[in-house]
Structure 1
Amino acid sequence: GEGLDFYDVGTARGAGGLGIWRDNKLWTSRNWAAWKLIQNGPDVASFSVDYAPWPVDVDRKVWETRVFSLPMGTNFTRMVSTISSDKPGPLVVGIGISKRKRASGAGLFRKDLVPGRVTFWEPADPDKGAMAIALMVDPKSVVEVRQDFDNYLVLVRVEPGKPFVYYMGAAWDKGLDFHNAADWDAYVAAQKPDFDPSH
């Protein structure tokens, strides 16, 4: 009873996937192109992933390197993303959480942009239970929260070539830790994220 893989993503952003937000549309990469193991325990697992260039509308290309760090003892993964571009100027990045609808409803989405946090308690599947997702971003970078057809999106402003940090967290209501939205939200609110990309 400690794990179950029923988190279908499809073309949505899943839990913490990102894209470039432009003209009310999310422009996304394809699957990763290369990866590298950085650390394999004992206290943290860390790896990097490169995404090949992808178009943003017809006049710009971007590409990304992202480092994932999964420390023991937390439900959060720390991401350090560097998005480069063939043109200068800031970008707005949309970091997403897939929407879910089931017979039990549409779930519970909450945002608190002062500390840069959003949470989503998914509607329950009658057999498999519910997933909880959270994103934490640097509140100084937040533009707003938007939605597209598939996702809730936290929009943040970034500079090409400059790394930025965000966190993705998840839990399962049939797992060992969080069994309702209130407990999950309280856990997320108590976090002290480090948004310094040099750490």
Structure 2
Amino acid sequence: MNKMSLFGWVCAIDCIFLVNSLKAQNSVQVSNTLDFPRSEIVSISSTRLKSFLSKNKETDLRIKDSHDKYLPIQWIDDDGDGKNDELLFLTTIEAKKTNTYTIVGNAEIPVPEAKVTAYSRLVPERVDDYAWENDKIAFRVYGPKGQKEALEGVQGSTLSSGIDIWLKRTDQPVINKWYKGYLTDPMYYHKDTRGEGYDPYHVGDSRGTGGIGIWNNDQLQVSRNFVTAKTIAEGPLRTVFELTYSPWSEYGVREIKRISLDIGSNFSRFESRFETEKPVPNYTVGITLHKNEGEVKINDKDGWYLHWEKIDDAFVGEGVVVNPAAVKKSWARKSDVADQSNLLVVTKPSNKLIYYAGFAWQKSGQVQTRKDWEALLQKQSMIIAHPLVIKIK
């Protein structure tokens, strides 16, 4: 079996950095080793820019491409200590090619605004959802107030740690607009009347697209709603946030889930960190099969898992990508019990689980057939296994 390197997965789409010299640091070379073009966010650790930053302020840094065009950039403070940890910019690079970018220190040059954005926030106006999106897709998960109201029988509340998806067919943000509409019309974003998309996706007690659990004794043990949420980066190139969960399952699992989404990607990155009261047999990632009317394809060799289903009058492809070296088994579990049919990917127990979950809607124009969606999943698995190679000179 062809195994992806563990290092490639721990880094995910964070790139492999090769630093030749700290003498000048005035250029970045980005190499694509794969045989198809890629459009991705480049991440450079602040420590890799030590020489440049010893002579320039972070706020002075600019990135210029080979056509003398300045690019949108984003700094992220990953650990909340008040110091930036990584610099982001977008590269579009052909197959088997290398792009060179110039590092410029000039505060008088304006940083261009990104034409599309990644974004996330807590949504108190709809109980306490947490929602996130980019130019292609949107998701949400459910919080503690929603859980409390659901247990009290309040109509419209949700008790679930499954991952909801919103079907977009615009590259512009919809979260704020749709939730504002919800305040006067609770069905506002459940109707596709504005040409932007809508939310017809049912999660319930299923895993939605990318929820997790523990598979044991022929059942899936899952957490309830998240209990706290912290936004780490709103965007515009990457949005990052963390969710915490109360101890769940018979194993007393304490979970912190960090989720990120880049512009241009159909996949959110999920990183769950665990502490347990006793050893767990596995962690299992799922995709709801709803009423078992869609198509499933399992690729343990490359670590991707596909569901293709019709929702209303168009098809949606959902998928999960996991390091194949971490997978124990996978199958489509079909049940007569509502919300218990899921495509399940059982992974080896570890204190950290990294995977990607995403989707594409036929009406967005991103895919038209199941084969299109399969090709996107295959490319995603290859992108993760073969990060862009970065040289700073």
TM-score over 0.5 for the pair: yes
Alignment counterpart, residue 270 of structure 2, candidates 79, 83, 95: 79
Per-residue deviation, 1:25? 1.1
Aligned to 2:298: 111
Aligned to 1:177: 366
Q: Return structure 1 stretches of 4+ with deviation > 3 angstroms.
A: none
Alignment counterpart, residue 69 of structure 1, candidates 255, 260, 270: 260
Structure 1 CA distance for aligned equivalents of residues 231 and 346 of structure 2:
29
Higher helix share: 2
Question: Which amino acid in the other structure matches residue 212 of structure 2?
Answer: L
Tell me how many residue pairs correspond in the alignment. Answer: 185
| Preserved contact between residue 75 and residue 169 of structure 1 (Cα < 8 Å) | yes
Aligned to 2:285: 95
Within the alignment, does 1:23 sit opposite 2:217 as a pair? Answer: yes
1:11 and 1:184, CA in 2 relative to 1: closer, same or farther beyond 3 A? same
Structure 1 CA distance for aligned equivalents of residues 280 and 385 of structure 2:
22
In the alignment, structure 1 segments of 5+ residues that lack a partner are none
Per-residue deviation, 1:154? 0.6
1:135 and 1:26, CA in 2 relative to 1: closer, same or farther beyond 3 A? same
% of aligned pairs identical?
Answer: 32
Structure 1 CA distance for aligned equivalents of residues 200 and 386 of structure 2:
30
Aligned to 1:34: 228
Question: Which amino acid in the other structure matches residue 6 of structure 1?
Answer: P
SS for the counterpart of 2:282 is strand
Within the alignment, does 1:155 sit opposite 2:340 as a pair? Answer: no
| Preserved contact between residue 200 and residue 311 of structure 2 (Cα < 8 Å) | no
SS for the counterpart of 2:198 is coil
Which is further off, 133-142 or 175-184?
175-184
1:136 and 1:174, CA in 2 relative to 1: closer, same or farther beyond 3 A? same
* TM-score, normalised by the number of residues in structure 2: 0.45
Structure 1 CA distance for aligned equivalents of residues 385 and 242 of structure 2:
18
Aligned to 2:322: 137
Structure 2 CA distance for aligned equivalents of residues 174 and 36 of structure 1:
32
Per-residue deviation, 1:124? 4.0
Structure 1 CA distance for aligned equivalents of residues 235 and 385 of structure 2:
20
Question: Which amino acid in the other structure matches residue 319 of structure 2?
Answer: A
Per-residue deviation, 1:194? 5.8
1:37 and 1:124, CA in 2 relative to 1: closer, same or farther beyond 3 A? closer
Residues 54-113 of structure 1, C-alpha deviations (whole Å, 9 max, x = no match):
122xxx3112111110000110000111122012x3531111100133xxx711110110
Question: Which amino acid in the other structure matches residue 139 of structure 1?
Answer: P
SS for the counterpart of 1:21 is strand
Structure 1 CA distance for aligned equivalents of residues 386 and 371 of structure 2:
25
Structure 2 CA distance for aligned equivalents of residues 130 and 63 of structure 1:
36
| Preserved contact between residue 78 and residue 166 of structure 1 (Cα < 8 Å) | yes
* TM-score, normalised by the number of residues in structure 1: 0.87
Per-residue deviation, 1:187? 1.1
Per-residue deviation, 1:51? 0.8
| Preserved contact between residue 138 and residue 195 of structure 1 (Cα < 8 Å) | no
| Preserved contact between residue 53 and residue 62 of structure 1 (Cα < 8 Å) | yes
Question: Which amino acid in the other structure matches residue 193 of structure 1?
Answer: I
The structure with more radius of gyration: 2
1:64 and 1:21, CA in 2 relative to 1: closer, same or farther beyond 3 A? same
In the alignment, structure 2 segments of 5+ residues that lack a partner are 1-194, 336-340, 388-393
Question: Which amino acid in the other structure matches residue 135 of structure 1?
Answer: V
Aligned to 1:121: 308
Higher strand share: 1
Structure 1 CA distance for aligned equivalents of residues 385 and 233 of structure 2:
19
Per-residue deviation, 1:23? 1.3
